[in-house]
Amino acid sequence: MPSLWIQNARVIDPAAKRDSVGDLFISSDRIVASLSAADKKKAKKIDASGLVACPGLVDIHVHFREPGQMHKETIETGCRAAAAGGFTSVVCMPNTSPVADTAGTIQQIKDSIARTACVKVYPTGCITVGMKGEALAPIGSLKRAGVIAITDDGDCVQSNELMRRACEYAKMFDLPLMDHCQDHSMTAGAVMNEGVVSTRLGLRGWPNAAEDIIVSRNVILATYTGAHIHMQHVSSRNSVEILRRAKARGVPVSGEATPHHIALTDDALGTYDTHFKMNPPLRTEEDRLAIIEGLRDGTLDIIATDHAPHTDYEKDKEFDYAPNGILGLETALSVSLDVLVRRSKFKLIHVIDMLTRKPARIVKLEAGTLAAGAPADVCLFDPNEKWVYDAKAGFSKSANSPWHGQTLQGRVKTTIVNGKVVFNQGKITA
């Protein structure tokens, strides 16, 4: 590959506390401090005037549906959507068909990654066999097979004793444990947030307490076992406060927020549009503001998309019967910039940190920095460009997005993975 010389960019590298206009140099698959005079003459030059150059974005919560649900998404199409959104590293959840609870399934996923992925994809393994919450999966075998975390995302482990043992094994094998925090006994039949809006719409409500109870349980178990438990897609203001107090005590827990939970509330469900149906559900304005404050003060560590593709015919049902979940990869940066930078006055470097260095650190990836010697994973974006998002013309195999047809601000222009341009000016180039 020719060397790359990215010129005149606003370079933002939170790991180095760098935010300044300058150049970036890439030789082979690594960032380098500079190029020789001879290499500069031969290098491919990218004029990044007016653009931000930051580490490739990292998303530790995506659903690529392969194997078994490839009518919704594949590793190939999911990676293309990731590249279009500026993501160079993604962590895929194990709720596939079959679920990723054996070394054989992990190997199948890794083989597909090797064949079709244009960005870096890292698999997770299940906490329990079949994601049924009844017996532990072979966590040691999964670690040897290459998983970087364990989770039963979508099916929270209900047994406190089983979760305790999972924590002990996760600690033993140095794996973070990711948890979708939901007490199933409180959410049977629930399809949206419990509150005034659910009462008005006549829909069964999902109370905050169902999340808060499990977050509290996980704080206790992390304290007891020393295992790192990461709370996925936190949506409740009470859960934010529980995590805030736990972190003040040094408990090894972390948490994520999604772009949709910082941007939307349950008021959006007034027309029964299933593109606003997700789990955990959109909550109240008070919850939304609490999540933003959690991101501001570090209680919530990162932004993750929970990219969850579904086909049109699956979403085109009565609200009670439509599946939960929305797309997120192609819109995450724009939505985060709008809500956090423009409306909530976050510094841009802070938001980039929550999309790069911090998620990479949680799952121990070699990513999230532009330091010399680091992998040459770079995102170039225009923070000011306005564009209309057409989910049906996007790179995902599905189109279930609440932002379809909306004008967004902030657009990814180029994505570079290991020194190779994989997305440029609206087209996949890998």
Task: Check the CA dihedral 392-398-401-407 and report its sign.
Answer: negative
Distance (Å, whole) CA 125 – CA 140 = 10
- The answer to whether 110 touches 146, Cβ cutoff 8 Å, is yes
Q: What are phi and psi of 427, to 5 degrees?
A: -130, 140
Both tokens of 421, joined, read: 């341009």
Distance (Å, whole) CA 94 – CA 65 = 9
Task: Check the CA dihedral 256-103-90-319 and report its sign.
Answer: negative
Q: What are phi and psi of 310, to 5 degrees?
A: -140, 150
Query: Which residues, listed in sequence order, are joined to residue 380 by a DSSP beta bridge?
Result: 53, 414
Q: Where are the beta strands (DSSP E) in 28-70?
A: 30-32, 44-47, 52-55, 57-62
Both tokens of 113, joined, read: 């990654």
Q: Which of 148, 141, 221 is nearest to 181 (CA)?
A: 221
Q: Is 140 helix (H, G, I), strand (E, B) or coil?
A: helix
Distance (Å, whole) CA 300 – CA 241 = 10
Among 155, 306, 338, 353, the active-site one is 306
Specify whether 212 is catalytic.
Answer: no
Distance (Å, whole) CA 257 – CA 332 = 11
- The answer to whether 239 touches 227, Cβ cutoff 8 Å, is no
Rounded to 10°, the helix 285-297/237-248 angle is: 20
Distance (Å, whole) CA 61 – CA 93 = 7
Q: Which of 235, 140, 130 is nearest to 180 (CA)?
A: 235
Both tokens of 97, joined, read: 């068909």
Q: Is 86 helix (H, G, I), strand (E, B) or coil?
A: coil
Q: Which of 357, 260, 355 is nearest to 307 (CA)?
A: 260
Distance (Å, whole) CA 139 – CA 329 = 29
Distance (Å, whole) CA 179 – CA 232 = 6
Both tokens of 100, joined, read: 């990723």
Positions marked active-site: 306
